[in-house]
Structure 1
Amino acid sequence: MTRAHFSDSYLLDPRHPVTVNVIGAGGTGSQVVTSLARMDTALRKLGHPGLFVRVYDPDTVGESNIGRQLFSEADLGLNKAQCLVTRINRFFGNDWAAVPERYREPEDNRFANLFITCTDSKSSRLQLSKLLEAHRPGNGYTDYSTPLYWCDFGNAQKTGQVIMGTIRRNIKQPESKKFETVQRLPFVTEYVKSYARIREEESGPSCSLAEALGKQDLFVNSTLAHLGCSLLWKMFREGVVFCHGFYMNLDTMRVNPISV
């Protein structure tokens, strides 16, 4: 029997826009946030309340970011999160928020239904994992501040992975005679013990685009972002997924799904 995970019902029929915290607005994050803006537009056209996104990143745009990330020379010296969100708000007419700092212990409404991490830092993922483990909600009332899913985007020079995990202890599943339903999906820190292929000391900024391309191939971030956002789109649009992530290799041009 095929294993399947049905999306939490709040994603499909929320009372408010689904809240999303994107941590990291660099190579992958800038591509992911732009794809989320397209997804938000599509969802609203379909009668869904859409998405409300907060983007967290303390870094500023440097020379090495131009060409590989979605920034131009006019953006030099600007905070990445603010630059990206301002552009998207103007283009799509949204009111999304930029936070020019690292994500930390939530205050007020800093929790979200969906967390997306797009960083090179192993420590930031481990810290977020501990935080979300400590705030796993049960199956009670759900609103815009209830954490439901964590989707992690990670990559090395020509390889990468996306892994979707459930924050809520168990996502209630419908009865099915066709599928073996799965309530809980593991975090990236549970699923891949050696998930961070980029050494922490190598994850700092590069001085030039040529140096940056030696660490991450030109299209690895955009390819990873588009495939990962396609998984997110399935969760919103179709309400069911049969894989909760994938491994990607641009050298072999292969994408291997991770079954639920």
Structure 2
Amino acid sequence: MNAEKTKVHFTDSYLLDPTNPIAVNLIGAGGTGSKVLTALLEINESLTALGHAGLSVRLWDDDIITIANLGRQRFFESETGLHKSVALINRVNRCIGTNWKAETRKFERDSFGMIPEEAQATITITCVDNVKARFGVAEILSIFRNRKNYRDTPKYWLDFGNSRHTGQVLLSTIGEIKQPDTQKYEAVASLPFVTEEFGELLRQSEEQDDTPSCSLAEALQKQDLFINSSLAQMGCSLLWDLFRYGMTEYRGFFHNLKDYRTQPIKVG
């Protein structure tokens, strides 16, 4: 009797040995996004130390830093009043000498219904707390599915989402990723969008209150102190595995910080 092969997804070959830094769009610079940016900095430095071209990140967020953002997000009192994306990107560029970019606008179609040229990136990472925004990103990435053979062809979408004590991270492919021939594993070329697989759950969560908080104490009633950072570390570890090992058995996880449980989601 033949044993069932382990299902894995092999990383797109372009990510493993690119000529230029990998273009990454990070959408959202709040509790999770600000910490994911730090993790991307660490991934970039590690990749370049290994002879890789590294990352080129563009951070999208139209929000302004307020007092309520201090403590739970990576901002300081002297930065209040600045755009979140600008403050964070300036800090990273000064730290490691990169030329990463900040966008002080939402990741969406413009007033003429056109998709911004900058929306095109090999990897898209969403850290948004708005269901409508997540579906908007999915719509734009769906259009990219049929566009091939040009630089920065979109390949992957890594989505972060959370409530007060729980959250999830899910990796999707933007179209099929060519897989190598393998006798040992069952290679999976396509990973579904979070909006396709869990669309109904996302719509149900739309009822949640997303009114802006006026203080850190009020913000902590909506999202606990370490839920964002724990998701960011584990989710970016999945991204790191794609680069470092060229494959993954997992495409995400559900995370409950209240009782310290994490349930991995296998490639399938």
TM-score class, shorter-chain normalisation, is over 0.9
Q: 1:116 to 1:200 in 2, by over 3 A?
A: farther
Q: Please give the per-residue CA displacement for 1:67-99, whole angstroms capped at 9, x wherever unaligned.
A: 000001011111000000000100111110000
**Structure 1 equivalent of residue 39 of structure 2:** 35
* 1:141 paired to 2:187: no
Structure 2 matches for 1:97-116, cutoff 5 A?
Answer: 97-105=101-109, 106-116=115-125
SS of residue matched to 2:58 = strand
**Structure 2 equivalent of residue 7 of structure 1:** 11
Contact 1:121 1:200 in 2 (8 A): no
CA distance in 1, matches of 2:100, 2:207: 30
SS of residue matched to 2:23 = strand
SS of residue matched to 1:3 = strand
* 1:179 paired to 2:185: yes
Please state how far the C-alpha of 1:246 moved relative to its aligned partner: 0.3
- Using structure 2 for the length normalisation, give the TM-score: 0.92
Between the two proteins, the alignment pairs up a number of residues equal to 257
Structure 2 matches for 1:1-260, cutoff 5 A?
Answer: 1-105=5-109, 106-137=115-146, 141-144=149-152, 146-167=153-174, 169-193=175-199, 194-195=201-202, 198-199=205-206, 202-260=209-267
Unmatched tracts of structure 1, length 5 or more:
none
Please state how far the C-alpha of 1:133 moved relative to its aligned partner: 1.2
Please state how far the C-alpha of 1:201 moved relative to its aligned partner: 5.6
Question: 1:115 corresponds to which letter in structure 2?
Answer: T
Q: 1:142 to 1:256 in 2, by over 3 A?
A: farther
- Moved beyond 3 Å, runs of 4+: 195-201
Please state how far the C-alpha of 1:142 moved relative to its aligned partner: 4.8
Unmatched tracts of structure 2, length 5 or more:
110-114
SS of residue matched to 1:41 = helix
Question: 1:65 corresponds to which letter in structure 2?
Answer: N
CA distance in 2, matches of 1:5, 1:197: 30
C-alpha RMSD over aligned residues = 1.4
Please state how far the C-alpha of 1:204 moved relative to its aligned partner: 3.1
Q: Please give the per-residue CA displacement for 1:1-48, whole angstroms capped at 9, x wherever unaligned.
A: 110000000110111100000110000000001110111011001000
Contact 1:156 1:197 in 2 (8 A): no
CA distance in 2, matches of 1:249, 1:216: 12
CA distance in 2, matches of 1:159, 1:201: 14
CA distance in 2, matches of 1:70, 1:8: 32
Question: 2:127 corresponds to which letter in structure 1?
Answer: C
